[in-house]
Amino acid sequence: MRFASLLVYTPWRRDPENLGPGPRSIMGMVKGARPEVLERMAVRCGERRDTDFDGFFTPDSTLVPIPTSAPARVPDTLWPGLSIAEALLEQGLGRDVQKLLVRTVRVPRAHEQSAAGRPRMDELVASLEWRGDFGSGLEQIVLVDDVVTRGTTFLAAREVIHRTEPWLEVRGFAAVRTMSFEVVTEPLSPATGRVELQANGWGRRDP
């Protein structure tokens, strides 16, 4: 599965000398859906639409936010993926935003877990429901999330979509990706790559 991201950070547990507080601070503002931060992020994505992100934000791309880790209980629950998708759309990056994925069962937040504690593909698939209608005119789905770790959530969401609409092209975009094996001090690092499912049930992201 193809994915893209704009920013990068090193989790604090992987940064014992605290060399990367700047990127972590920006990650926190993205997760908090700070409007001015999301606007700047979307502008940067627009500047790179035809280079770093070629094929992701086309006139046929419907942006579908990844739900939060727990089922929403009230309408105004913080939903970073939705806020990011709306900021991207305001910059002309996509056709529309549709809330077609729903979380029905709570799952652990991947970026807060140790590697062994992150949910596997089958658990994530069981926690999601696709609300798209057959023959709805969808052409390309770009799943939008705040942070990508291994990418297992992207794979699970695509699996849920393809069980109903297997012809749909599905890609993923995360505002921020984790970098666990080196400490980053500069958050801006646009990249595209792939996520593949491993035999152990977790995704493997490159880069």
Instruction: Tell me the pTM.
Output: 0.94
Classify domain 2-206 at the CATH topology level. Answer: Rossmann fold (3.40.50)
pLDDT of 76 higher than 80: no
**What three-state secondary structure class fits 195?**
strand
Tell whether the model's pLDDT for residue 85 goes beyond 80.
yes
The domain ranges of the chain are 2-206
Return the pLDDT at 73: 74
Nearest to 95 by CA among 64, 62, 49, 50: 62
pLDDT at 134: 62
Closest CA to 81 of 59, 103, 114: 103
Going by C-alpha positions, the residue among 98, 97, 96, 117 that lies closest to residue 108 is 117
Decide the pairing of beta strands 140-148 and 169-178: parallel
**Which residues, 6+ apart, have CB-to-CB distance to 144 below 8 Å?**
63, 64, 65, 66, 81, 82, 84, 85, 88, 172, 173, 174
Strand partners, 170: 141
pLDDT digits (tens, 9 = 90+) for 26-47: 999 999 999 999 999 999 999 9
